[in-house]
Amino acid sequence: MSDSFLTEVRGNVLVMTINRASARNAMDGPTAREMAAALDRLDESPELFVGVLTGAGGTFCAGMDLKAFLTGDTPEVPGRGMGGITERPPRKPVIAAVEGWALAGGLEIAIACDLIVAGESAKFGVPEVKRALVAGGGAALRLPELVGTARAMELLLTGDPVTAARAEQIGLINRVVPDGTALEAALELAAVIAANGPLAVQATRAVALGARDWDSKQRWDRQRQILGPVFSSEDATEGATAFAERRPPVWKGR
């Protein structure tokens, strides 16, 4: 990894940090590719169960690096979108730990994650329309699903940001914590998730996200296809055995 994107393993959690504080962690091409590589590592490593994504220097991400864009550089990773996550998130859960601004593409990266923890002074916005642009990195697609059409339209069409308290109130984020503690709180949440059966977590996530695209006639069959391997896994046996023996389970991810 380059200096613009850092990774650190903490137990079963991969901590990923956008490290361009001088540019308010705006995303350029090299950083996006580093982030995509880190997300691949998360998915491919059997020892990693959860990812946490944050930004250095008190800002999550200010969106696309416009200076880099003017030179022909883009933070879009082919087939994966902004930062390598907005169009194709990983199959393992990722928690966004937000301090300061999650703006434009930064908000789109945050809502591509599964959970968001934010410092109380954090702000979230998609101001593209103020510059005659469109939030094409997922905000116009995901916000109506996350907060409802009316609230999404207010965010998208005014371009005005909302506070962390308001974001929590409308269901955009999960938790508001004291400033400077978003990463710590996200790691605590990640530890709770990582203590669960990893195959069960991934399958549950796949059903919850996939069901939106399944019609009523196929949804139960699709769910059975995803859940079948989980119920026949070694981890499922281990979970029941550990419960009967009153001990913590030891997951193998198979």
Q: What positions carry a catalytic annotation?
A: 108, 128
How many helices (H) and strands (E) are present in the chain, helices listed first? 10, 11
Burial group, residue 176, by CB count within 10 angstroms (0-12, 13-18, 19+): buried
Q: Which residues contact 112 (CB under 8 A, 6 or more apart)?
A: 81, 83, 85, 86, 89, 94, 138, 142
How far CA 213 is from CA of 162, 208, 218, 222, in Å, comes to 29, 10, 10, 11
C-alpha to C-alpha distance for 26 and 155, rounded to whole angstroms:
20
Look up residue 31 and give its two tokens.
Answer: 């950083």
* Alpha-carbon radius of gyration of the chain: 19
